[in-house]
């Protein structure tokens, strides 16, 4: 399938490593992360209302260049950086909602909001989106499902053709109250049960899930990181297909509700004609015989799960960002090759990295990632969404990258 690379003139999004702001393939549009930036890439605005409006205007501009509108958005993610307590986070999200309700009407897209780190000093928000133009769609809002604590026009899931777009599933009740306070196992069970419900509502099941991302909050260190992930994952495996969806497991700062410990989102594709992409001599997970999956090729699409710089026992390989980034891009190349694909087929990259230190150190980290990325991806490069996270499933990892590819005709 032919890809159209979208790069509006005098426009800056959020990823320094690519001028591509979106990629359109048929009626599907993948938009890279959008921030409140001027033409030189400098952050504009010091308050969240200003930055949110600028970021949504940037998204609107990119979509227009791709032949779409905000009404065509089926899935969007809000990555936000907010310092402060629960009251501050609530006020911060209220400001974001006031702005985005100017752009989305009922029924709106799916939504996932995660509290992370961004990679420009002063940046408060980054918006990522998937849109579909001119296709019939079915809204997935199961009766008795969890709901938000206030009236919002967003949607739990959309079925568009054979694709299922599922927003962040949470451990909440119908009034938006957190279930399983302080208990990662209970919250994981609720979140994944809700994901299962959405898949069934769209005519699929857990075997239909191609991409499944788990965001979780944990601030431990060392072996405690892996222990916590395994405790959570032993619950997740009750709901995972065998073999599982591809995806990423990301430690983040938090969620809109500060009592939440986990959210899960996904993209499913209906149909049985699919190819599991599972290279030999690849990195592996810490729990033996999990039947987790590195990637799937189905129909026109290929989903490459979050790749990490690890060995076959889930131990990090490489102590510096350059080594780990190069290993990760090589692993992506290996997974693509299993499906007869290469970097030229990739339409979108999600780059999650650990970037501590001051802003000069963060800039150096991003420059390293960008430099290595350019070794693997020639112009026009994929659209990119890049955020800083608190960590990953295993200790000593510095970066995780997932990819979405458009299969050739």
At residue 13, does pLDDT exceed 80? no
Q: What is the mean pLDDT of residues 335-346?
A: 98
pLDDT recorded at residue 16: 60
E-state strands within 18-177: 22-25, 28-34, 73-80, 110-115, 125-132, 137-140, 157-160, 163-169
What is the Cα–Cα distance from 176 to 223, expressed in whole angstroms? 33
What is the Cα–Cα distance from 155 to 117, expressed in whole angstroms? 26
pLDDT recorded at residue 17: 56
Q: What is the mean pLDDT of residues 394-405?
A: 96
Question: In sequence order, what DSSP letters do the residues of 202-220 get, joined into one string?
Answer: TT--GGGEEEEEEEEE---
What percent of the chain has pLDDT above 90?
91
At residue 251, does pLDDT exceed 90? yes
Structurally, the chain folds into a number of domains equal to 1
At residue 97, does pLDDT exceed 60? yes
pLDDT tens digits for 138-153?
999 999 999 999 999 9
pLDDT tens digits for 268-302?
999 999 999 999 999 999 988 788 999 999 999 99
Range of the domain at 285: 3-406
pLDDT tens digits for 253-264?
999 999 999 999
What is the Cα–Cα distance from 263 to 232, expressed in whole angstroms? 12
């Amino acid at each position: 399938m032919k890809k159209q690379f979208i790069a509006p003139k005098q426009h800056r999004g959020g990823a320094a490593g690519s001028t591509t702001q979106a990629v359109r393939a048929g009626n599907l549009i993948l938009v890279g992360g959008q921030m409140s930036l001027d033409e030189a890439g400098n952050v504009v605005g010091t308050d969240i209302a200003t930055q949110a409006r600028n970021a949504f205007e940037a998204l609107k501009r990119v979509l227009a260049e791709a032949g779409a509108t905000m009404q065509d958005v089926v899935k969007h993610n809000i990555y936000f950086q907010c310092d402060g307590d629960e009251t501050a986070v609530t006020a911060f999200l209220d400001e974001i909602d006031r702005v985005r309700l100017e752009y989305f009407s009922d029924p709106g897209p799916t939504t996932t909001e995660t509290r992370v780190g961004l990679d420009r000093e002063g940046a408060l928000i980054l918006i990522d989106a998937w849109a579909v133009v001119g296709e019939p769609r079915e809204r997935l809002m199961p009766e008795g499902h969890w709901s938000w604590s206030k009236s919002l026009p967003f949607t739990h899931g959309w079925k568009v053709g054979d694709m299922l777009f599922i927003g962040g599933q949470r451990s909440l009740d119908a009034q938006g109250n957190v279930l399983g306070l302080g208990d990662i196992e209970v919250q994981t069970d609720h979140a994944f049960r809700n994901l299962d419900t959405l898949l069934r509502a769209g005519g699929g099941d857990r075997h239909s899930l191609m991409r499944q991302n788990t965001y979780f909050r944990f601030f431990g260190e060392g072996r405690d990181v892996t222990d916590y992930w395994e405790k959570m994952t032993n619950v997740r495996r009750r709901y995972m297909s065998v073999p599982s969806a591809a995806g990423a497991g990301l430690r983040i700062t938090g969620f809109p509700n500060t009592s939440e410990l986990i959210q899960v989102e996904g993209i499913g594709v209906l149909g049985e004609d699919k190819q599991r992409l599972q290279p030999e001599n690849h990195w592996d997970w810490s729990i033996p015989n999990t039947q987790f999956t590195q990637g799937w090729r189905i129909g026109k699409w290929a989903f490459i799960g979050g790749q990490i710089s690890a060995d076959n026992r889930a131990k990090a390989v490489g102590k510096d960002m350059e080594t780990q980034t190069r290993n990760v891009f090589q692993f992506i190349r290996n997974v693509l090759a299993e499906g007869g694909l290469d970097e030229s087929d990739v339409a979108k990259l999600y780059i999650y990295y650990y970037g501590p230190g001051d802003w000069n150190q963060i800039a150096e980290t991003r420059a390293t990632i960008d430099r290595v990325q350019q070794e693997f991806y020639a112009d026009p490069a994929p659209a990119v969404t890049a955020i800083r996270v608190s960590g990953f499933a295993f200790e000593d990892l510095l970066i995780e990258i997932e990819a979405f590819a458009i299969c050739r005709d």
